[in-house]
Every structure is written in C-alpha cells, then in structure tokens.
Amino acid sequence: MNRGDLYRVAHPSTRDPKRSRIFVVVSRQLLIDSQFSTVVSAPIYSKYHGFSTQVHVDVADGLKHSSSIHCDELVSLHKSVLTDYIGKLSVLKLAELNVALKVALSIE
C-alpha cells in the first residue's frame, strides 16, 4: 500500500448511500508502512465543483468516469478494508492532491 493508491471500499459508512466508494490513501508513507492499523484517506465522488480542495480525476487515473477527490472529507480507514486496488495517482495528480490537502487543512 502506498500514498496515492486508489481502493474501492464496500459500504464505507452507514451514511453513504453507495454500496461502495473509491478512496485515495493520503497518509504519509511512514504511517502506511507502520504497524498502525488505519490510514487517512479521501473519498472520490462523481461530482466536481471546482473547489480548491478538490482534485479532478478521470479515466486516465483508473476510474470509470470523471470524478473528484474531496480533501474536505478526510476519513480514517482500517487498512483491512483497503483490499480492492483500483490504481494509483500519477506524480502530477499527487502534486495536485498535496496542494488541495494544504488548502483543506489551512497549511501554508
């Protein structure tokens, strides 16, 4: 498992109407490689509003259709639910993700 990897998660929460949702792992690699049981992840939605905290992703990124990573909705997911690997973000998309995370967390 690596930072920027995309995974489909079945029944991500009781509030999510979808049977599954794709998440991107955003934790630092040191945490991912550790014995810690969870990683911070950002959900991917089919809606893109153009907010600075969203990263546009599409078929080139391994998805079925145009979508966006929502950095304002970070969640901690147990590593054991991250089994359905979809793909990984490109270096360019990972750089965009870093910028969106900084905005979402108000980091200069």
Q: What is the mean pLDDT of residues 87-108?
A: 95
Q: Please report the pLDDT score of residue 14 as a whole number.
A: 60
Residue 18 CB partners (closer than 8 Å, separation 6+)? 12
- pLDDT exceeds cutoff 90 at 56: yes
Q: What is the pTM of this model?
A: 0.90
- pLDDT exceeds cutoff 70 at 104: yes
- pLDDT exceeds cutoff 80 at 44: yes
Handedness of CA 92, 97, 100, 105 (dihedral sign): negative
Domains of the chain: 5-104 (2.30.30.110)
User: Is residue 29 within a helix (H) or strand (E), and if so which, with residue range?
Assistant: helix 29-33
Q: Write the CA distances from 47 to 79, 86, 100, 108, integer angstroms.
A: 26, 19, 16, 27
- pLDDT exceeds cutoff 80 at 13: no
Q: How far apart are CA 92 and CA 79, in angstroms?
A: 25
pLDDT bucket at 11, cuts 50 / 70 / 90: confident
